[in-house]
Amino acid sequence: MVKQILNNLKTKLILKPVYKQWPGLIKAYKEWLPITNNTPIISLQEGGTPLIELKSINKIIGNNVKVYAKYDGLNPTGSFKDRGMTMAISKAKEEGCKAVICASTGNTSAAAAAYAKKGDMRSFVLIPDGYVAQGKLAQALVYGAEIIAIKGNFDKALSIVQEMSKEFPVTLVNSVNPYRLEGQKTAAFEIIDALGEAPDWLCIPMGNAGNISAYWIGFNEYFKKGISKKLPRMMGFQAEGSAPLVLGKTIENPETIATAIRIGNPVNKEKAYIVKKESEGKFNSVTDEEIIKAYKLLGKEEGIFCEPASASSIAGLLKLKKEIPKNAVIVCVLTGNGLKDPDCAIKNNDAVFKSGIEPDLEIVAKNMGF
Ligand SMILES: *Cc1c(COP(=O)(O)O)cnc(C)c1O
């Protein structure tokens, strides 16, 4: 009798595995990060995002190429910035800081505001007036950031906050803060943990080029420890009207629909050029039209809604189609969530949308084509 009960229990346990919660990236990758027992971990359980195979892109490319999306738009505030912010804010808290500041095209401010509140700090954000997507602005407001919209672009805002943090008691949490990159490198770990090996190519949008630098750090750390046996080529993409790293010069008035990468003078440009060289990578630009085409494709064919800046990694990959080796494994980073920029979605879609229809079964059925 007892034996039977125990056996039943065993079968039940085997049949029904219990999935534990993802603990957040600092706890998951503690030994790889510059934290001590005294570091307070300020976390919203970021990281652990899905790596999704993109069947429709595989089909377009052919040659047995496998393309995956690292869907970092599924982080707590909807972008990869959370990976860097959990580290930057935890370290700021450890150092006794009471307020943080950043310049932002939107996502950094959303993440800074959320994590600052979680860590019981004030957050100040400087944004380019009129150039922040609605969803991102809504987040900064809801998370209680103190927002200063300046009549100038991101680059101007960044130079102000850099000076500010030298003179006043506020910690800078833009990607010049080295802890940001430490947090962000964990995305590379997650990719290798999921695939069992590094991909052949990593395709990624570039704004300030902090993220591409962070991924390269992550890939190298796993490689040096022998966890992966190869390093990917790092393929960075910018929007054509905002492509300082492709053109090799500062752009005074960057313009693109992809506001998250509307940056004319990337702070991490030296790092980015080193990544390109070391990884035998390439930097290319994509037009706004190509970005929107990829953006729509992801939504319609894959059920993935990303923001326009993120779609540049897919647009860029498709542009390099002829150069992709047979059997390659490629990861495209989808940096932010589509909900961040509802205006872009409403303006750019091929949906069927009939409005003003009478609430009548016959009429509705007729409109459905029955
Ligand atoms: C910040 C951001 C980027 C650019 O990342 P960098 O580290 O500045 O190169 C790209 N896409 C989205 C959605 C972002 O928020």
Structure confidence at residue 19 (pLDDT): 86
Structure confidence at residue 14 (pLDDT): 62
E-assigned strands of the chain?
Answer: 51-53, 66-71, 99-103, 122-128, 146-150, 171-172, 201-205, 233-239, 282-286, 329-334
Residue 3 has pLDDT above 80, yes or no: no
Tokens 């805002």 belong to 157
Cβ neighbours, 10 Å, residue 176: 16
Structure confidence at residue 18 (pLDDT): 87
User: What is the percentage of the chain residues whose pLDDT exceeds 90?
Assistant: 92
Q: Which of 323, 56, 295, 312 is nearest to 200 (CA)?
A: 323
Segment 119-137 mean pLDDT: 93
| Closest atom, ligand 1, to C-alpha of 204 | 10
**Which residue among 173, 261, 273, 291 has the greatest number of ligand 1 atoms within 8 angstroms of its CB, and so is best to mutate?**
261
E-assigned strands of 59-143?
Answer: 66-71, 99-103, 122-128
Per residue in 70-103, pLDDT (tens digit) is 999 999 999 999 999 999 999 999 999 999 999 9
Q: Tell me the one-letter amino acid at 188.
A: A
Query: Which protein residues touch ligand 1 with a CB less than 6 Å away?
Result: 79, 81, 107, 175, 205-211, 260-261, 307, 309-310, 335-336
